[in-house]
Amino acid sequence: MPRIVAVALFAVLAAPAAAGPAVDAAGLTLADLAPAQLDALKAEAGYRIGVLVTAVQPGSPAAAAGLRAGDVIGAVGKQGVDSAAGVEAELAKPAAETSLLVLRRDAGGRLYSTPLPLRPAAPPPAGAGRGPTGRTYRHPLGATFWHPADWAVADGGQALVLTPPDARTGEETYLITAESLAGTAISSVTDPAVGAYLDQQVAALGAAFRRLGPPSALRGAERPVAIHDYEAAGAGGAVVRARAYVALVEGYGLALLAIGVRDRVLAREGVLGRIAASFGFSQGKVDPALVGVWDFLSTVSIRNDSPFENDWSRARMASDRRVRMWLGADGTFKRAEIRHTIAGAGGVWVDSGEQRTEEKGRFSAADGRLYLVWEDGTVSAFGYRVDAPAGAARTVRLAGDAEGQVWEEAK
């Protein structure tokens, strides 16, 4: 379940990545398809076009047309589109009605297309306000969500931090976190285990927090979103509200947590609900520069040079570690490791022999951040840089929490 403070978002949502815009007039949130997805569409349908719909705003023209999250827009009018910016540009053209060619799959998995008429929204009454314009945040691993354009998004180390332009320091905090559901039986936001986990996490923030009844459902959202509310007494008699919006997306629990003075949090209820309702997922990014086979070699030698030891009792150890990693253009990886350790003292030596392990999973990489998602759902995150010196093999420098590594392209 989504940890509120104790986990990074997908180690997760660590670095902003460019993504398609939210087309506010139509109520669409879009994301570009990865090159591999476009290639697959071309192989199956004969054309390399398509833009993924990650969310549809309730009550919008897009919702009225029948669009839903997971649809792929292949054309706007007679113009094929392969980017979210292209859809936005075509919909910006004045028209009484625009036909969208939408690609879907039937119950048997077969691809089919259907035209949907999109009519522009009626102009608001004179003096009526307009909802905030926004943009789509897309993490390299594929998680997406909409947020107001003037809200800052930053990596907080263990969560993504959203900051409104008029936020009051010390009075309100907004976080997005996620955690893999692998190894759990959770398949619904109404599972009691979700509430029990949140109770634990909120109690860790402050023992004074008390739950305000059972969770409620976010109305108008395309996928189920549960709202959990907690309150505690704050300094100076203020009431502190903790509100968690929780959704399950592609095997992950995503949570938007708002913590602050009750009136401040409740005043942003509409925007927070829209952010949570937009949670989506598309295929992650793959940096072509990382695709290939890479080798890593390390040797560690240790000797106990204590003056209290003699040649008979002084211990020695040497260990070799050889790792090869295959990073595929399809976003999958395989990692094979061989370890060999010899240790001894007092004339007695122990040889471990070669110990081999193999692991695999999927990966995403963009903007200098590499994410390895292992088969059990855990995530390892690294900063990376690819170097290609003239006349020498390419190298990849990885910087993780525990160590830095230099990998060389396999010969």
Local confidence band at 384 (pLDDT 50, 70, 90 cut-offs): very high
Average model confidence (pLDDT) for the chain? 82
pLDDT > 90 fraction of the chain, expressed in percent and rounded: 35
Given a cut of 50, is residue 2 above it in pLDDT?
A: no
Choice among 318-332, 346-360, 373-387 with the minimum mean pLDDT = 373-387
Phi, psi for residue 213 in degrees, rounded to 5: 80, -175
Domain 1-17+139-284 CATH assignment equals 3.40.50.12160 = no
What is the model's pLDDT at position 157? 60
Which tokens hold the place of 353? Answer: 């022999």
Phi, psi for residue 58 in degrees, rounded to 5: -55, 140
Given a cut of 50, is residue 17 above it in pLDDT?
A: no
What is the helix, strand, coil percentage profile of the chain, to 5? Answer: 15, 45, 40
Which tokens hold the place of 226? Answer: 């549960």
> In CATH, what number does 288-409 get?
2.40.128.300
Task: CATH 2.30.42.10 in the chain: give the residue spans.
Answer: 19-121
Choice among 87-91, 94-98, 173-177, 340-344 with the minimum mean pLDDT = 94-98
Local confidence band at 9 (pLDDT 50, 70, 90 cut-offs): very low
Task: CATH 3.40.1000.10 in the chain: give the residue spans.
Answer: 1-17+139-284
Given a cut of 60, is residue 376 above it in pLDDT?
A: yes
Residue 162, judged by CB atoms within 10 A of its CB (0-12, 13-18, 19+), counts as buried
pLDDT 10s digits, 259-291: 999 998 999 999 999 999 999 877 678 889 999
Q: Please state which architecture CATH assigns to domain 19-121.
A: Roll (2.30)
Given a cut of 80, is residue 97 above it in pLDDT?
A: no
